[in-house]
Structure 1
Amino acid sequence: MTAQTPPFRDSQLPFAKRIDDLLSRLTVAERIALLHQFAPAVERLGVAAFRTGQEALHGVAWMGPATVFPQAVGLGATWNDDLVRRVGEAVSAEVRAMRARDDRVGLNVWAPTVNLLRHPLWGRNEEGYSEDPGLTSAIATAYTRGLRGDHPAYWRTAPVLKHWLAHNNETNRDTTSSSVRPRVLHEYDLRAFRETVEAGAVAGVMPAYNLVNGRPNHVSPYLREHLRTWTDQELLVCSDAGAPSNLVDSEHYFDTHEEATAAALIAGVDSFTDHGTDSSKIVARLQGALEAGLLSEADIDAAVRRQLTVRFRLGEFDARLDPYAALRDFDTPGHRALAQEAAEQAIVLLKNDGLLPLTGSPGGGPRVAVVGLLADECKLDWYSGTLIHRSTPLEGLYERFGAERVDFAEGVDRVRLKTSAGTYLSVPPADDTTGGARGAEGALDPALLAGRTDLPPLTTDATGTDLALIDWGEGVLTLRAPDGRYLSVADDGYVRASADQPGGWVVQETFRLEPHDSHAGGHLLKHVGTGRYVSVAAEGVKVAAENAEEAEGAEDAEGAEDAEGAEDAEGAEGAEAPEIFELIVTEPGEDAVTRAAATADVVLVFAGNDPHINGRETEDRTTLRLPAHQERLLRAARAANPNTALVLVSAYPYAVDHANLPAVLWTAHGGQAAGTALARVLAGDVSPAGRLPQTWYASDADLPDLLDYDVIGGRQTYLYFEGTPLFPFGHGLSYASFAYSGLEAVPGEGKVKVTFTVINTSEVAADEVAQLYTRAVNPSVPRPRRELAAHRRVRLAPGASTELTFELPLSTFEFWDVAHGRWRLEPGAYDVLVGASSEDIRLRGTIELDGAPAAPRPVLGHGLNAADFDEQSRAEIVDRTKVSGDAVAPVDGGEAELVFRRCDFGPATTTVTVVAAGEGSVELALPDGPVLARLEIPATAGPYDYTTVDAPCHAAEVHDLHIRLRGPLRLARVGFSG
């Protein structure tokens, strides 16, 4: 170091001192500018520009070709921490390699998603690992360790966990509030984040769009009260895109953007992702907040310090010392092999009555009919990279058994769309510059991109084109030309055959056929992406009218003699009237499936979802059922051939009737090697060992409301669900068989040591996933039916055995004691359960643990926080203030009841004090007994203006207490004094 070199460039100094020095050299304006996602360079100091946020959920996303691994829910289904760590290593290596070629690629990666898969209809189910917080945190910790690397000072990438907190709905996701009571908060939602953060491989978190207990996550006090207490390292909190503006624009939580931005920064947000690359609005808001005294320079410095900490860890200021600076591993043979290994390990065999595996060798074995919409697809989702290699199930089976032994029937309806003029929709042929839907070796043809305007639009003629109508359920369909091109709508409004697959933030390849009453058999064709109807114009087919009302108006005018009326009806923007089509089915999909199935030895029906349609980010599902068209195909195959297996390729659980099916498999969309992996498992080259990371429910009737976040009160997930699932959490079969023996569970100092043996009793080498659960035998409060405490995936040769040992800390058996606001180990008996799933328990043992016995709530002098109830009905938790604290309100201002168990009122209680806002009443009563007190709450100036009301209360000793709320009030606290 020379005398002119500033200390922040001195690699011999600790990062903290270097950051102090750099901070001191930055002006206030420069510091503020660093707080936007796209931080500009500080050229006078030689500091480069920096971008937070690179999507890397299951491979590098949005930046072009990259290795594509199975979806996150598929990685969760592997139950293999070591595998997922290796996937993280590969992904981060490709981030580094791509960064070397393109400086738009960022090293601060926004992955993984650790939101729990509480509800299977959540649109982003594909992004999470499991409904269980322990399994989620184990897989997330493995992935983040892989992303970070193992160097003590420098990180390969800096992972940020998504999305803090209690986020499981896309419906109105920026305005809905998750009501999360303390036990659920501590035992469920926080746990997935906490254990991963405590493992030390996380750079930070991203708050979610939603509110929790009435307060937006971007101003959550939990960032300070919980997140930052779990580790000594600085954690970077990156806002979700547009969320800072939502605080005012959609949530109306603050009156001004300056106030909202200041509140978010003070709460703990360090990087503002808003208005794309334009940082000017956020910078102006922060500057305005500083000038108005809503922020201090110290607040700004704290956020900048966290940003700089990440940048130093990534080696930005020590290029010569950064061990990952020269990393160029990209699309290596090792990465390709790992993608296939991950895809194989993610496959779950749900049912098998002996149909599988399919025996035979290439060129021999059974004749297989491969049918269904997912049979020849390798689907990508919103967070996938661009495929370099691809393998569909059909291609994998061709390779494994030989094309001559595999018959394929996609099962889509072949249709023509006839216009009111008697002509038909026609797709212009692709010329030599556009080619087909696939290029050489199956690679995606870059010429076929949705949004192109240089291709000819659809026309009409006397014969038309047979289109494949692919029905994805809920009335949503795609239309595909014979050469594989999907119909798509570009910005100019014309309909073209121009897309290789449906995709994009707004999907432009989906349509709806809506019956039109005034024409027998007539339909309007509505484009979902624009919400407009398809019309036929002289220059080509395009979208026209804005809405159905315009369509009706246009049709009414078609027969009008008034030219002016007809002109008005021709639609918005001068477009022709929406066309009324007659749908002519030239071949039903079931016919092709029946023909293929009838001559086969075995039928494989591939069903599932397209990750861009009917369930994705911004869109929740509405049902667990398969789309009706896919159910028809399954029935047709089964009717033609009883040896029919269902292979579900999906991002979600489904409720399927499998009573007459001899075999069922499931895999998430498995990335680039999905087809090869499925073929190897179906053929028996690999014994399946994936396990379900979430409960598969038998019907929609088993599901709670999507917005019911109380997993305890709502009896949700395998932890509390009391019904019979279709397939339970942890379920998965094998081609091998395993036995368990020798369970020993020995309590010790601060832990319980559990040992047992697993034996492969078959002649097939295979993996087994041993699962260890615990259960409180006689709990004083509702506890899980059983709870995953540990797991391990092991590979065993035929006849081999292995002894597994787990050391469970006593905290494994604790619960959040809401009566006293702390974790507590309750003394008594606990079951230790070992087996192959949450319902397939092979070994049982019971241990006795010492702990702190239950004590009554000391309400005299301590009072009751309203949110610390044991049970509730028709109540929701809301924000006590905009900064911190909880209150409870009746849903929609009606009536609600809270139950507090075993309240110790002391020898004599004479006064009750209620702190509440709003107008209504609060009534205190004993169970099935007298009313202790009834307090009328006067109207207050606003929801955060609390008033205190006193009343006599005659109670003594220990009783359950019922508090009944009526009216639009917020109850914060009830106090008792003698």
Structure 2
Amino acid sequence: TREAATQSITLLKNDGILPHKAPKKIAVIGPLADVQMQDWYSGTLPYAVTARQALAARAEVVYSEGVDRIRLRHKTGYLTAVDGGKSLKITDTTGAAAQFDLFDWGGWSYTLRNVATGKYVDGRLDGTVGADSAGPHEFDVHETFTIVELEGGKLAVQQRYKAEGADAGKWLAIEGGRITLTEDRSGAAEFDFDFVVKAREAAAELAREADVAVVVLGDHPLVNGRETEDRQDLNLPSAQAWVLGEVLGANPNTILVMSSSYPYAVNWAAKHVPAVVWSGHGGQEWGNALADVLYGDRDAEGRLPQTWYTDAAELPVMLDYDIVASDATYLYYLGQPLYPFGHGLSYADFTYADLKVDKDRAGSGDELTVTVDVTNASDRDGVETVQLYSHQCGSRVKQPLRQLRGFRKVRLAAGETRTVSFTVAVDDLAHWDNTTGRMIVEKSRQRLMVGRSATNIVLSASVRIDGETAGPRDLAKPLAAASNDAYAGVLWRDETRASGDVIAAEEAGGWIMLGDCDFGPGYTTVTARVSGQASQLQLRVDDPLDGDVLAKIDTPMTAGVYDYAEVTVDFGGAEGVKDLYVTFESGPVRLA
């Protein structure tokens, strides 16, 4: 497990502060610095070595969890854990039982851990509230809350969990001096926050005294951004980001370590923090693995398995899974990511030379052998992940800007050169062709590229592929609407309860495009197979808005969405090979 964790740790940025140069005192700070999370669907850890524990074995460590410690003050007293945390009451005490550590997990999701019990506040299904939970640990999480500011500046606490059929979570309320849950917003208890410890100030004070500060931030795998729960943005949780900023202000020798289930848009950190490290929640030996990499006992071997964007605005809408149309993922993304797919730095420097492909031309059934010489040009051993991408130059369809075809992890001694080899089957360069309804290898030029990431390409070479040339669509045969080449404002729906796909209008003005239609023979009628509400379809060439109208099809209402009717109308003249657009003028009609 230590080896797996070590190889997963990814160095995203390094201004030379890493590897560690024998610091005497390290400030280890953050809500993930002394805990090892179990990721979603992971096994149970038999033990855990945290970042704090592993670094403390190598240097003097001072530690701050980096979370605010607060009291929730009601006009009648303080929220207090009683009976060992079995319940919460309003009392006059201000001691540990009335103090809570407030964890910010992003997306307005907070957990509160009582200082006296060491356990988390839990809103139970029976409406009672206590502070005796180990923390989020079940599929339905009852330990997360949102802090809501009320008119007049008071604060209310609302549970994030909502029962099936409920519009929102319940509120903390007071009933007979005890804390309960209520659905009634007007019955929510109103609090003020009194700070016992301000995380930013405490963390900065420790960092100021240390040689190096290691700030360990990230997510709770069961809280925000998981199955059934999507994040609304890509930002670090606000409280965590504030702690990082204060620590860096106190100590310029600050290293950001992120342990998370997903990427963050850490734009500020990427610009200002000297070193940025990321990995997933790496199991029981993660702390030792992290220390091995930070101290340079092992090279940083991890490479990003996803693109890190600068903002959620760079992503398609939540349920849009068409990566081609939305220019999503490393395959199609046109922008400049914060960190690209495949990115990860090494402590060594590598050079690439003498890229070769064993064939100038190739066809179906052939294999291409790609070789490149990689040299460790530094004075220390290191690990490089050599990545091979391809791009098809010229196609009747939109092709990926780059597509990973293979990668090789090579361990090179200082000064060592090694020839790295890849094999690419020409048949693996095939893509789905809507005109023929099958996978084809197109006649094209393929650019083969080697580099360190999807956007850090070092060398490239080209190969001619003797493949097929996709012909125009034969209008004498039925054209499936779902086999369109482009679309807007439409949805894919089931043709029958058993199989098939049809296109349904999401809104008036939606359209599909069927590319390269051969109008040569001079067709006079067109037949549409439709179902659903009465509507109108229009057929245009070359443009969905301004193209010449070839036909208007008034569709009837059918008995149901699985009951189809065929409508035949006259078809206006068109010549040659053109793109055919079908526009949905009104009504939720389905087109087969």
What TM-score bracket applies, with the shorter chain setting the length? over 0.9
Who is 1:418 aligned against?
A: 73
Who is 1:684 aligned against?
A: 296
Deviation at 1:659, TM superposition (A): 0.9
Contact 2:516 2:579 in 1 (8 A): yes
Who is 1:227 aligned against?
A: none
Deviates further, 935-944 or 471-480: 471-480
Who is 2:189 aligned against?
A: 579
Matching residue within 337, 346, 354 for 1:742:
354
Deviation at 1:738, TM superposition (A): 1.5
Deviation at 1:366, TM superposition (A): 4.0
Who is 2:556 aligned against?
A: 938
Who is 2:250 aligned against?
A: 640
Give me the whole-angstrom Cα distance separating, in 2, the residues matched to 1:825 and 1:897. 28
Contact 1:712 1:782 in 2 (8 A): yes
Who is 2:166 aligned against?
A: none
Who is 2:518 aligned against?
A: 904
Give me the whole-angstrom Cα distance separating, in 2, the residues matched to 1:456 and 1:830. 66
Deviation at 1:881, TM superposition (A): 1.2
Match runs of 1:191-206 below 5 Å: none
Contact 2:127 2:182 in 1 (8 A): no
Who is 1:505 aligned against?
A: 139
Counterpart of 1:968 in structure 2: which amino acid? G
TM-score (norm 1): 0.57
Give me the whole-angstrom Cα distance separating, in 2, the residues matched to 1:372 and 1:398. 15
Change (3 A) 1:806 1:474: closer
Who is 1:333 aligned against?
A: none
**Does residue 351 of the first structure (1) align with residue 10 of the second (2)?**
no
Contact 1:359 1:366 in 2 (8 A): no
Match runs of 1:608-619 below 5 Å: 608-619=218-229
Give CA deviations for 1:202-250 in whole Å, capped at 9, x if unaligned: xxxxxxxxxxxxxxxxxxxxxxxxxxxxxxxxxxxxxxxxxxxxxxxxx
Contact 2:531 2:561 in 1 (8 A): yes
Matching residue within 107, 119, 140 for 1:474:
107
DSSP-derived class of the 1:344 partner: helix
Q: Which runs of 5+ in 2 are unaligned?
A: 163-168
Match runs of 1:99-248 below 5 Å: none
Who is 2:3 aligned against?
A: 341
Deviation at 1:514, TM superposition (A): 2.2
Matching residue within 428, 432, 442 for 1:812:
428
Match runs of 1:369-380 below 5 Å: 369-380=27-38
Who is 2:50 aligned against?
A: 392
Matching residue within 158, 164, 170 for 1:532:
170
Contact 2:172 2:179 in 1 (8 A): yes
Matching residue within 832, 836, 842 for 2:448:
832
DSSP-derived class of the 1:659 partner: helix
Who is 1:495 aligned against?
A: 129
Deviation at 1:386, TM superposition (A): 2.2
Who is 1:237 aligned against?
A: none
Give me the whole-angstrom Cα distance separating, in 2, the residues matched to 1:545 and 1:722. 49
Deviation at 1:523, TM superposition (A): 2.2
Matching residue within 488, 507, 512 for 1:873:
488
Contact 2:535 2:589 in 1 (8 A): no
**Does residue 600 of the first structure (1) align with residue 183 of the second (2)?**
no
Counterpart of 1:424 in structure 2: which amino acid? Y
Contact 2:537 2:555 in 1 (8 A): yes
Deviation at 1:493, TM superposition (A): 3.8
Counterpart of 1:461 in structure 2: which amino acid? T
Give me the whole-angstrom Cα distance separating, in 2, the residues matched to 1:853 and 1:513. 61
Give me the whole-angstrom Cα distance separating, in 2, the residues matched to 1:481 and 1:957. 76
Matching residue within 216, 239, 254 for 1:629:
239
Contact 1:923 1:935 in 2 (8 A): yes
Contact 2:527 2:567 in 1 (8 A): yes
Contact 2:374 2:419 in 1 (8 A): yes
Contact 1:889 1:968 in 2 (8 A): no
Matching residue within 85, 89, 104 for 1:459:
89
Match runs of 1:54-73 below 5 Å: none
Q: Which runs of 5+ in 1 are unaligned?
A: 1-338, 431-454, 552-577, 974-978
Give CA deviations for 1:96-123 in whole Å, capped at 9, x if unaligned: xxxxxxxxxxxxxxxxxxxxxxxxxxxx
Deviation at 1:429, TM superposition (A): 8.1
Contact 2:561 2:590 in 1 (8 A): no
Match runs of 1:850-865 below 5 Å: 850-859=466-475, 861-865=476-480
**Does residue 966 of the first structure (1) align with residue 546 of the second (2)?**
no
Give me the whole-angstrom Cα distance separating, in 2, the residues matched to 1:929 and 1:535. 63
Choose between structure 1 and 2: higher strand proportion: 2
Give me the whole-angstrom Cα distance separating, in 1, the residues matched to 2:191 and 2:540. 66
Who is 1:792 aligned against?
A: 408
Q: CA RMSD in A?
A: 1.9
Who is 1:514 aligned against?
A: 148
Counterpart of 1:922 in structure 2: which amino acid? L
Who is 2:165 aligned against?
A: none
DSSP-derived class of the 1:803 partner: strand
Change (3 A) 1:796 1:862: same
Deviation at 1:845, TM superposition (A): 0.7
DSSP-derived class of the 2:358 partner: strand
Who is 1:888 aligned against?
A: 503
Deviation at 1:490, TM superposition (A): 4.0
Deviation at 1:541, TM superposition (A): 3.5
Contact 1:902 1:960 in 2 (8 A): yes
Contact 1:909 1:956 in 2 (8 A): no
DSSP-derived class of the 1:458 partner: strand
Give me the whole-angstrom Cα distance separating, in 1, the residues matched to 2:25 and 2:458. 38
Give me the whole-angstrom Cα distance separating, in 2, the residues matched to 1:715 and 1:496. 48
Give me the whole-angstrom Cα distance separating, in 2, the residues matched to 1:385 and 1:591. 37
Who is 2:376 aligned against?
A: 760
Who is 1:556 aligned against?
A: none
Give me the whole-angstrom Cα distance separating, in 2, the residues matched to 1:606 and 1:920. 58
Change (3 A) 1:547 1:506: farther
Who is 1:282 aligned against?
A: none
DSSP-derived class of the 1:676 partner: helix
Give me the whole-angstrom Cα distance separating, in 1, the residues matched to 2:535 and 2:509. 10
Deviation at 1:680, TM superposition (A): 1.3
Give CA deviations for 1:717-742 in whole Å, capped at 9, x if unaligned: 01001011010010000111112222
Change (3 A) 1:931 1:537: closer
Give me the whole-angstrom Cα distance separating, in 1, the residues matched to 2:583 and 2:79. 64
Give me the whole-angstrom Cα distance separating, in 1, the residues matched to 2:53 and 2:129. 31
Give me the whole-angstrom Cα distance separating, in 1, the residues matched to 2:39 and 2:465. 47
Choose between structure 1 and 2: higher helix proportion: 1
Q: What is the aligned-residue identity percentage?
A: 39
Matching residue within 682, 707, 711 for 2:323:
711
Q: How many residues align?
A: 571
Who is 2:530 aligned against?
A: 916
Contact 2:435 2:470 in 1 (8 A): no
